[in-house]
Amino acid sequence: MQEKIIASFLGLGAFGAYFAASIGMLLLFAMIYVRVTPYHELNLIREGNTAAACSYSGALLGFIIPLASAVAHSVGIADMIVWGCVALVVQIST
């Protein structure tokens, strides 16, 4: 029984690496998105603008979904980062 528990914790390092890379890419996307859009979404959201909140959260979700697919289908961290960058470029450019 203990071997099964120990074996389940062996993947914790890989999980942490993928999680950290995903959070880093999400933060990078959020920073780029805020800079390239003509509106100040964060200020509008603070002022209670629901449309800005929907737009910003939709953009984040639009990036998170392909990023999650990159995590699920990649063969390593570098592969995931490459496909995450592709998703970032596609999402920002459209």
Amino acid at 78: A
Q: Name the pTM for this structure.
A: 0.85
Q: Is the pLDDT of residue 1 over 80?
A: no
* Other CB atoms within 10 Å distance of the CB of residue 61: 9
Question: What does the alpha-carbon distance between residue 18 and residue 33 come to, in Å, rounded to a whole number?
Answer: 22
Tokens 């639009």 -> residue: 62
18 closest CA partner among 62, 63, 68: 68
List the domain boundaries for the chain: 2-93
The pLDDT of residue 2: 81
24-79 pLDDT per residue, tens: 999 999 999 999 999 899 999 999 999 999 999 999 999 999 999 999 999 999 99
Quote the pLDDT of residue 11. Answer: 85
| Cα separation, 69 vs 38, whole angstroms | 29
